[in-house]
Amino acid sequence: MSSSTVEFAKMNGLGNKILVVDMRGRTDKVTPAAAIALNADGETQFDQIMAIHDPKAHGTDAFIDILNSDGSKAQACGNGTRCVVQALSAETGKKVFTFQTVAGILNAVEHEDGTISVDMGKPIFEWDRIPLAEEFYDTSRIELQIGPIDNPVLHSPSAMSMGNPHAVFWVNKDVMSYDLVRFGPLLENHPMFPERANITLAEVTSDSSLRTRTWERGAGLTLACGSAACAAAVSAARTGRTGRTVKIDVASSPVRQPLIIEWRDDDHVVMTGPAEWEWSGTVDPTTGSWSRDAEQGAETR
**CA-atom Rg of the chain in angstroms:** 19
How far is the C-alpha of 275 from the C-alpha of 78, rounded, in Å?
11
- Do residues 184 and 215 make contact, with C-beta atoms less than 8 angstroms apart? yes
How confident is the model at residue 298, as a pLDDT? 54
Domains and CATH numbers, the chain: 6-121+276-295 (3.10.310.10), 145-267 (3.10.310.10)
How confident is the model at residue 21, as a pLDDT? 98
Give the residue among 31, 55, 34, 179 at the shortest CA–CA distance from 106: 55
Cα angle 103, 114, 199; round to 5: 40
How confident is the model at residue 16, as a pLDDT? 86
What is the average pLDDT score of the chain? 93
How many Cα atoms occupy the beta-carbon half-sphere of 97 within 13 Å? 33
How confident is the model at residue 1, as a pLDDT? 46
Query: Which percentage of the chain shows pLDDT scores above 70?
Result: 96
How far is the C-alpha of 198 from the C-alpha of 76, rounded, in Å?
11
How confident is the model at residue 224, as a pLDDT? 82
Residues with a catalytic annotation lie at 77, 225
Beta bridge partners of 12: 17, 276
The stretches in the chain having pLDDT less than 50 are 1
Give the residue among 152, 254, 244, 236 at the shortest CA–CA distance from 200: 236
- The distance of Cα 290 from the centroid of its chain, to the nearest Å, equals 24
